[in-house]
């Protein structure tokens, strides 16, 4: 049985009753072939999965950090042992290159499995809180983090492992059971991971995969105790509204329009390599892709020339053997149309295409690696998320203009600044309205699993990674523990005038002096 047929089987063993749901065809976007079918689950089937996950949660929580850590490490071993099979499915359903699947997905997930297995206990340990209040002397205050119960994770199609399964790992390590709703476009890899959990003997139903289109995601929000969503800002808004209606916690990792700034004293060769790599990788379908570049006048021509040369040298085509191509397919057909419309809008308003500029005729969905100049902020390509292999470059007078334009955006996910003057580069980076900023680098900050990664403005709410990346999957409970309490504390009934007077005197003694103001 082939890997893809097995993925089909995984759908069945996941528990969706056959004959009740419609079926979704999964395509290889690089060839147009149908490579599998999954259930388009009904709301009732999604609810049933959440119920199963809810029944499984107490046992999963009870095995503790050590038990859950063992499962995560076992799963990592399974992924490494089955890497060829997993990579095959990942490349086929997404259209990305094998290198991207290996490094940005499989390596990330293996690293994250070990990271959360090791660090979850530390991030979620009880915290003793020293209170300043004299009225609480001798009492112990403790903050504890406990799992919400069943977490719903809803993911996009651009990184099925990293951005769908990757978000399940801290949720599981926190002691939640998880129902994962992958994108209908790329459900197969996540089904394999669900299957792997069963194969390694993980407690049944701790992780379940709900396949289906958008309405399966909406149904999931109806029943879970917390939802983590990665996807577009438009859908994220709907998810937030539904979560608000149910008053359940939500974290949102949404779109971006990440700027790169190249200052006059930058290492132009390094900046050009970074710009090409991180605008074209995965056909630009990365939420933290370099989506627009501002270059100071003195190095503009040199930067553009280098970027053009490097982009012309890229090899594009259906991904096959390692090292075969640099840029693969576009995963989702409607996205090709968005990229085409952004390029056309730029051309209509006076931009110039120096490389590429067109979608392919097929079979398969490809858009040529594209470099544009003569762009400005009247154009969609500089203001809306393109999510394609495009690199628009704009000339700026100085760093102030670059910062102003970089900040002229409704998004605020990642950003980067290039300068050999580190202090200046950092100064500029600190002025950017983005959840994350790199100096002389791009995207690599995502690998610092200890550091919170989240968006500002319309790029999201909350963060993944670091302490917030796992605490969001927990509710807090604050405990006040009194060991040696008198039978009756000062100030308790019946009210007495002298006690009120004593409180008043203490208050006046502490806060009754007029504060000095700085001149």
CB burial string 407-423: b at 16+ within 10 A, e below: eebebbbbbbbbbeeee
256 touches ligand NDP by CB under 6 A: yes
> What would the x/- binding string for ligand NDP be over residues 359 to 398, using CB under 6 A?
--------------------------x-x-----------
436 touches ligand NDP by CB under 6 A: no
Q: How far is the CB of 87 from ligand NDP (least distance, A)?
A: 20
Residues from 399 through 428 that contact ligand NDP (CB under 6 A): 413
Q: Is the dihedral of CA 218, 219, 225, 227 positive or negative?
A: negative
35 touches ligand NDP by CB under 6 A: no
Question: Are residues 433 and 455 in contact, defined by beta-carbon separation less than 8 angstroms?
Answer: no
230 touches ligand NDP by CB under 6 A: yes
> What would the x/- binding string for ligand NDP be over residues 95 to 134, using CB under 6 A?
----------------------------------------
Of 287, 384, 458, 474, which is the active-site residue? 287
Task: Give strand pairing partners of 261.
Answer: 294, 417
Q: How far is the CB of 21 from ligand NDP (least distance, A)?
A: 13
214 touches ligand NDP by CB under 6 A: yes
284 touches ligand NDP by CB under 6 A: no
183 touches ligand NDP by CB under 6 A: yes
Select from 168, 210, 226, 254 the one that contacts ligand NDP (CB under 6 A): 254
Q: How far apart are CA 165 and CA 145, in angstroms?
A: 22
Name the one range near ligand NDP by CB under 6 A: 98-106, 134-142, 234-242, 434-442: 234-242
Q: How far is the CB of 103 from ligand NDP (least distance, A)?
A: 16
CA 286 to chain centre: 10
Phi/psi of residue 147, nearest 5 degrees: -60, 150
Of 290, 379, 394, nearest to 341 (Cα)? 379
> Strand, coil or helix: what is 62?
helix
Name the residue nearer to ligand NDP (CB basis): 69 or 455: 455
CA 308 to chain centre: 30
Select from 145, 181, 306, 395 the one that contacts ligand NDP (CB under 6 A): 181
Residues from 286 through 325 that contact ligand NDP (CB under 6 A): 287
Select from 69, 95, 170, 231 the one that contacts ligand NDP (CB under 6 A): 231
Q: Determine whether 450 is an active site residue.
A: no
Residue nearest to ligand NDP (CB): 217
Select from 460, 462, 466, 469 the one that contacts ligand NDP (CB under 6 A): 460
Name the residue nearer to ligand NDP (CB basis): 169 or 299: 169
> Strand, coil or helix: what is 241?
helix
213 touches ligand NDP by CB under 6 A: yes
Q: What is the DSSP letter of 266?
A: S
- Count of residues that interact with ligand NDP, criterion CB under 6 A: 31
Q: How far is the CB of 451 from ligand NDP (least distance, A)?
A: 14
232 touches ligand NDP by CB under 6 A: yes
* Token reading at 510: 């502490």
Q: How far is the CB of 373 from ligand NDP (least distance, A)?
A: 24
**DSSP codes, 407-453:** HSSSEES--EEE-S-HHHHHHHHHTS-SS--EES--SGGGG-TTS-B
Q: How far apart are CA 283 and CA 461, in angstroms?
A: 26
Name the residue nearer to ligand NDP (CB basis): 40 or 267: 40
Q: Is the dihedral of CA 285, 288, 290, 291 positive or negative?
A: positive
Question: Are residues 104 and 282 in contact, defined by beta-carbon separation less than 8 angstroms?
Answer: yes
239 touches ligand NDP by CB under 6 A: yes
- Bond into 481 cis (ω within 30): no
Length of the chain equals: 519
157 touches ligand NDP by CB under 6 A: yes
Select from 87, 151, 154, 271 the one that contacts ligand NDP (CB under 6 A): 154
Question: Are residues 283 and 104 in contact, defined by beta-carbon separation less than 8 angstroms?
Answer: no
Name the one range near ligand NDP by CB under 6 A: 87-95, 192-200, 211-219, 503-511: 211-219
Question: Are residues 194 and 89 in contact, defined by beta-carbon separation less than 8 angstroms?
Answer: no
Of 80, 56, 85, nearest to 68 (Cα)? 56
Question: Are residues 278 and 293 in contact, defined by beta-carbon separation less than 8 angstroms?
Answer: no
Name the residue nearer to ligand NDP (CB basis): 256 or 357: 256
226 touches ligand NDP by CB under 6 A: no
> Strand, coil or helix: what is 324?
coil
Q: What is the DSSP letter of 477?
A: E
Q: How far apart are CA 281 and CA 85, in angstroms?
A: 22
Q: Determine whether 253 is an active site residue.
A: yes
Q: Which residues are catalytic?
A: 253, 287
Q: Could you list the residues that contact ligand NDP (CB under 6 A)? A: 154-159, 163, 181, 183-185, 213-214, 217-218, 230-232, 235, 238-239, 253-256, 287, 385, 387, 413, 455, 460
């Amino acid at each position: 049985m082939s890997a893809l047929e097995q993925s089909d089987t995984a759908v069945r063993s996941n528990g969706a009753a056959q004959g009740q749901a419609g079926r979704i065809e999964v395509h290889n976007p690089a060839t147009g072939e149908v490579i599998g079918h999954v259930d388009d689950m009904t709301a009732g089937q999604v609810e049933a999965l959440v119920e199963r996950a809810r029944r499984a949660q107490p046992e999963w929580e009870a095995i503790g950090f050590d038990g859950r850590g063992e499962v995560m490490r076992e799963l990592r071993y399974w992924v490494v042992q089955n890497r060829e099979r997993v990579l095959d499915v990942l490349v086929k359903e997404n259209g990305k290159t094998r290198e991207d699947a290996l490094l940005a997905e499989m390596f990330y997930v293996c690293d994250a499995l070990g990271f959360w297995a090791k660090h979850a206990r530390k991030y979620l340990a009880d915290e003793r809180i020293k209170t300043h209040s004299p009225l609480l002397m001798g009492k112990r205050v403790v903050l504890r983090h406990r799992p919400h119960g069943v977490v719903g994770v809803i993911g996009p199609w651009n990184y099925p492992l990293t951005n769908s399964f990757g978000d399940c790992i801290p949720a599981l390590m926190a002691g939640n059971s998880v129902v994962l709703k992958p994108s209908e476009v790329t459900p197969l890899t996540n089904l394999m991971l669900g299957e792997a959990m069963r194969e390694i003997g993980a407690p049944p139903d701790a992780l379940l995969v709900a396949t289906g289109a958008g309405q399966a995601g909406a149904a999931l929000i109806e029943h879970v105790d917390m939802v983590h969503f990665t996807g577009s800002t438009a859908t994220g808004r709907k998810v937030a509204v539904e979560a608000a209606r149910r008053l359940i916690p939500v974290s949102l990792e949404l779109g971006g329009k990440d700027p790169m700034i190249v200052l006059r004293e930058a290492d132009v060769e390094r900046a050009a390599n970074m710009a090409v790599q991180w605008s074209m990788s995965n056909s630009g379908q990365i939420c933290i892709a370099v989506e627009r570049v501002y270059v100071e006048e003195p190095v503009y021509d040199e930067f553009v020339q280098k970027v053009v040369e490097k982009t012309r040298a890229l090899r594009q085509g259906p991904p096959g053997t390692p090292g075969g191509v640099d840029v693969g397919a576009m995963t989702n057909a409607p996205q090709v149309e968005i990229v085409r419309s952004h390029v056309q809008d730029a051309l209509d308003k006076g931009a110039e295409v120096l490389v590429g500029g067109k979608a392919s005729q097929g079979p398969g969905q490809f858009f040529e690696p594209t470099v544009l100049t003569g762009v400005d902020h009247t154009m969609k390509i500089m203001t809306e998320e393109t999510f394609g292999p495009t690199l628009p470059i704009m000339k700026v007078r100085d760093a102030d203009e670059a910062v102003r334009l970089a900040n002229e955006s409704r998004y605020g996910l990642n950003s980067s600044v290039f300068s050999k003057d580190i202090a200046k580069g950092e100064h500029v980076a600190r002025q950017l309205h983005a959840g994350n900023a790199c100096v002389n680098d791009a995207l690599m900050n995502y690998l610092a699993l200890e550091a919170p990664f989240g968006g500002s403005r319309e790029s999201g709410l909350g963060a993944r990674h670091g302490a917030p990346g796992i605490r969001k999957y927990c509710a807090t409970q604050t405990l006040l523990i009194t060991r040696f309490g008198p039978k009756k504390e000062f100030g308790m009934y019946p009210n007495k005038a002298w006690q009120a007077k004593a409180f008043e005197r203490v208050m006046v003694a502490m806060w009754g002096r007029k504060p000095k103001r700085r001149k």
